[in-house]
């Protein structure tokens, strides 16, 4: 396994691991290795089908978006939101697939555009993650703000019976937060996809069948 050092925008040095999934994503022409986390989730829970309407929060650079357009096919609708733009690869793949697609480049904390707020979705997925600052307490507080906002959006925009997937960084607070969401769904689980780095604290809350 090759380990490379790089710097986040804040200047804090982190390690970036080029592992099996990194090279697999390169070979399969996805914008990021994170696609395999959503693939693991979809293979296990079968949340998304052809023709579905899906909302993708924290979509950039766009590997989930690329996979989602494969899943929903030409008859589906995908809406993606991120404060950063999608990659050129993602834009090209979306265009090629030909499904209805909307992208909103804005912060999740801004009010949702009217066009988005008027829609109801079969599935809301969130891979939102804050830029890492270094101090763990600051990062986990930022992450909790993001996941709580994602949950509020999911509750407002999901159809009854719809599904919600959201990335959490494991901590006593995030696990408590996820527990408080359980009652909103018929089935709820915390799941660590096998493609997640072993040392990573990332975990996904999967809520299936939103209750009325
Ligand atoms: C791990 S990346 C998502 C990767 C993406 N799922 C993919 O497969 O390519 C997390 C994303 O969350 C976005 N993000 C973080 N805070 C945000 C905010 N307040 N509003 C909108 N997007 C945000 C970042 O810009 C970043 O693109």
CA 107 – CA 150 distance, rounded (Å): 12
Q: Is 7 helix (H, G, I), strand (E, B) or coil?
A: strand
Residue nearest to atom 16 of ligand 1 (CA): 130
For residue 110, give the DSSP letter.
Answer: S
Per-residue pLDDT in tens (0 to 9) along the chain, 212 residues: 222 322 333 333 344 567 899 999 999 999 999 999 999 999 999 999 999 999 999 999 999 999 999 999 999 999 999 999 999 999 999 999 989 999 999 999 999 999 999 999 999 999 999 987 677 778 888 999 999 999 999 999 999 999 999 999 998 999 999 999 999 999 999 999 999 988 888 999 999 999 99
Q: Single out the catalytic residue among 167, 183, 186, 192.
A: 167
120's tokens: 């109801």
**Residue 2 falls within a domain, yes or no?**
no
- Kindly report the CATH number assigned to the domain that includes residue 193: 3.40.50.150
Cα of 129 vs centre of ligand 1, distance in Å, is: 5
Q: Which residue owns the Cα nearest ligand 1 atom 5?
A: 59
d(CA 139, CA 186): 31
Measured in Å, residue 75 CA sits from the centre of ligand 1 at 26
pTM of the model: 0.91
8 CA → ligand 1 middle, Å: 14
Inside any domain, residue 153: yes
How far apart are alpha carbons 174 and 188 in whole angstroms?
A: 15
Known catalytic membership, residue 167: yes
Q: Is residue 115 part of a domain?
A: yes
Q: Specify if 41 maps to a domain.
A: yes
For the chain, how many structural domains are there in total? 1
Considering the domain boundaries, does residue 75 fall inside one? Answer: yes
Asked whether residue 9 is domain-assigned, the answer is no
Query: Under 8 Å CB-to-CB from 150, ≥6 apart: which residues?
Result: 57, 58, 108, 124, 126, 128, 166
- Asked if the structure places residue 88 within a domain, the reply is yes
Instruction: Name every protein residue with a CB atom under 6 angstroms from any ligand 1 atom.
Output: 31-32, 34-35, 58-64, 82-84, 107-109, 127-130, 146
- d(CA 31, CA 49) in angstroms, rounded, equals 22
Residue 63 belongs to what domain range? 31-210
What would the 3-class secondary structure string for 59-105 be?
A: CCCCHHHHHHHHHHCCCCEEEEEECCCCCHHHHHHHHHHCCEEEEEE
């Amino acid at each position: 396994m090759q380990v490379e050092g790089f710097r986040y925008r804040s200047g804090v040095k982190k390690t970036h691991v080029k592992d099996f999934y990194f090279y697999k994503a390169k070979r399969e022409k996805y914008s990021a290795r994170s696609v395999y986390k959503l693939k693991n989730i979809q293979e296990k829970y079968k949340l998304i089908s052809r023709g579905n309407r899906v909302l993708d929060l924290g979509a950039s650079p766009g590997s989930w978006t690329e996979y989602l357009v494969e899943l929903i096919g030409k008859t589906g609708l995908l809406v993606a939101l991120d404060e950063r733009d999608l990659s050129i690869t993602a834009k090209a793949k979306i265009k090629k697939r030909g499904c209805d697609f909307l992208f909103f480049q804005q912060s999740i904390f801004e009010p949702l555009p009217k066009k988005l707020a008027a829609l109801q979705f079969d599935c809301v997925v969130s891979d939102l993650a804050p830029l890492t600052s270094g101090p763990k307490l600051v990062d986990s507080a930022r992450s909790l703000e993001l996941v709580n906002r994602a949950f509020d959006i999911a509750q407002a925009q999901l159809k009854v019976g719809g599904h919600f997937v959201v990335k959490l960084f494991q901590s006593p607070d995030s696990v408590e937060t996820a527990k408080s969401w359980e009652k909103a769904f018929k089935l709820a689980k915390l799941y660590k996809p096998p493609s997640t780095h072993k040392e990573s604290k990332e975990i996904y809350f999967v809520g299936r069948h939103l209750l009325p």
